[in-house]
Amino acid sequence: MTTLNQAHCEACRADAQQVSDEELPMLLKQIPDWNIEVRDGVMQLEKVFLFKNFKFALAFTNAMGEISEAEGHHPGLLTEWGKVTVTWWSHSIKGLHRNDFIMAARTDEVAKDAEGRK
C-alpha cells in the first residue's frame, strides 16, 4: 500500500463516496497531528503550522498553493503573522475524501522542509 504522502489525488466528482466510518481511524492514524473540525455539518481536516514571521508563513502558503494546483485539490489557507492554518475537505461531496488525507500528508512533507518553522 502506498503511503499517503506518496499517493496522488483522484478526480473527485459530486457522486464520490466520503471516507467511511471504518476508514476514518486508519487514515487519521497516518496523519496524527491533524484535527477533525465540523463546520456547517461538513467534516474537515485542519492543522496549524507556526513560523518565525510572516515572510516564512507566506512562503509556506505559496508552496502549498503549488502542490495543491499540481494535484487539482485545494485547501483553505489562512495566513497570518507567524501562522498558517491549513484546512482540507472536498467541496464537491461536502465532507472528507481520501484525497484530503493524501494532501494532509503531503502538507506535512512540505512543512518538514519549510524554512522558519517553529
More confident residue, 52 or 10: 52
- Tens of pLDDT, residue by residue over 25-38, are 999 999 999 999 99
Q: Which residues pair with 116 in a beta bridge?
A: none
The domains of the chain, with CATH numbers, are 19-112 (3.30.1360.20)
Average pLDDT (75-92) is 97
For 45, the grid coordinates are: 481536516
Q: Give me the residues paired with residue 86 across strands.
A: 47, 77
d(CA 22, CA 52): 39
C-alpha cell at 82: 507567524
Q: Tell me, what's the pLDDT at 11?
A: 62
Question: What is the phi/psi pair of residue 59, to 5°?
Answer: -60, -40
Quick one: pLDDT at residue 74? 94
| 36 and 43 Cβ atoms separated by less than 8 Å | yes
Q: Which pLDDT score is estimated for 1?
A: 38
